Amino acid sequence: EIPTLEEGESKNKELVLTLPVEQGWVASAIRQHQGFWVWERVLPGILTMQEVFKHDPNDIIVASLPKSGTTWLKALTFTIVHRSKFSFSDHPLLKFNPHDCVPVLDHTYAGLVEQNLKILPSPRVLGTHTPYSFLPEIVKTSDCPIIYLCRETKDVLVSFWHMLSARNSIPFNQAFELFCEGRAPYGPIWDHVLEYYTISLHNQKKVLFLKYEEMMNDPIEAVTRLADFIGCPFTEEEVKQNVVVKVVEFCSFNKLKDLDVNKNNSKNDFLFRKAVVGDWQNYITAEMATKLDKITEERLQDSGFTY
């Protein structure tokens, strides 16, 4: 029998408190569950989501480890999917942050605000930071398409630490060591990436695997692939009318960053920092970079995956 959201949440809260614990860079601890470290306050929601999530056959999932470019992927996917519904001059993304238009499922269930999913335009675009193995069974076994975005390890670490440093994070050197050991939120990062990567190799219809650096390099190509994957390819007419370019520009860092909703709102402004590939060089010493790169190489060995 399926528990109610509240029943699931209270049962799973108790369960989570029995799991191995680690400091989570900020006040909230992380707990280890089935090989991954997840925020203590979010994990009960994820476990509840596995039990109560009601899947709609049209759902589209966007997945990523935090700081991999989630906000960008959400804006792009939402804009592509709903392009016949909303014009660029009167668009939800002009008034709402991408995370409001594409809610993080994990937080939705952790916050007991499942009703927020009911107000989304169809098809729903839903976000998650969970590893593939943590997704509700129906999401894995149905035709529900999943778009996964990954980003180079050192840039994720630097971006993550900056976000959390605004909330009294532990010193960078300490965060670095924990990250290298995989004891970081949603870590180990390599396992997170490889779970989605492996599915994308075996089932190209299930998971579209994107890289932040490739998207930055050629956003037109990425947006075209994305639209093809979710079954709403750009028509010849749209291409002629520059719609692909318009989507890219509408969701660009500079455009989104300067919107009032993202600029004058402390809840959102940390989402738009620099958006520079290789910014880690300004924060990580050569010695640290070598150490982390070596771990990355070891962890990815035999997987066929490289950044």
Task: State yes or no: residue 272 binds ligand A3P (CB under 6 A).
Answer: yes
Structural tokens at position 37: 């470290």
How many Cα atoms within 13 Å fall on the side-chain side of residue 57?
Answer: 0
Query: 36-39 and 26-33 as β-strands: parallel, antiparallel, unpaired?
Result: antiparallel
Which helix (H) or strand (E) segment holds residue 224: the answer is helix 219-229
Among 251, 284, 288, 292, binds ligand A3P (CB under 6 A): 251
Whose tokens are 């600029």? That residue is 263
- Distance of alpha carbon 141 from its chain centroid, rounded? 20
Closer of 6 and 258 to ligand A3P (Cβ) = 258
- Whichever of 46 and 65 has its CB closer to ligand A3P, that residue is 65
Give the interface size with ligand A3P as a residue count (CB under 6 A).
Answer: 21
Q: What whole-number distance in Å separates Cα of residue 36 and Cα of residue 131?
A: 8
Residues 144-203 that bind ligand A3P (CB under 6 A): 155, 159, 162
Show the beta-strand stretches assigned E in the chain: 21-24, 26-33, 36-39, 60-64, 125-128, 146-150, 207-211
Q: Whose CA is closest to 130, among 121, 117, 139, 122?
A: 139
Q: How far apart are CA 140 and CA 133, in angstroms?
A: 8
Among 16, 222, 271, 292, binds ligand A3P (CB under 6 A): 271
CB of 272 to ligand A3P, least distance (A): 5
| Of residues 37 and 272, the one with the C-beta less far from ligand A3P | 272
Active-site residue, 202 included: no
**Structure-token pair, residue 179:** 């990250």
Cα–chain-centroid distance for residue 147? Answer: 9
In whole angstroms, how close is the CB of 241 to ligand A3P at the nearest point? 22
DSSP 169: P
Q: Is 273 in the site for ligand A3P (CB under 6 A)?
A: yes
For the bound state, the minimum distance from the C-beta of residue 216 to ligand A3P, rounded and expressed in Å, comes to 6
Site string for ligand A3P, 5-44 (x = CB under 6 A): ----------------------------------------
Smallest gap from Cβ 257 to ligand A3P, in A, equals: 7
User: Which position among 82, 107, 129, 192 bears the catalytic label?
Assistant: 129
- Restricting to residues 65-124, which ones interact with ligand A3P according to CB under 6 A? 66-72
**Which residue has tokens 């029995």?**
18
Q: Which of 54, 95, 205, 274 binds ligand A3P (CB under 6 A)?
A: 274
3-5-9 Cα angle (round to 5): 95
Beta carbon of residue 141, minimum distance to ligand A3P (angstroms, whole number): 27
Cα–Cα dist 84/104, whole Å: 24
Out of 100, 238, 279, 293, the only residue in the binding site for ligand A3P (CB under 6 A) is 279
Residue with tokens 């979710």: 230
Helix or strand or coil: residue 53? coil
Our CB check for ligand A3P shows the closer of 36 and 212 to be 212
Q: Which residues are catalytic?
A: 129
| Contacts with ligand A3P, residue ranges (CB under 6 A) | 64, 66-72, 155, 159, 162, 251-253, 256, 271-275, 279
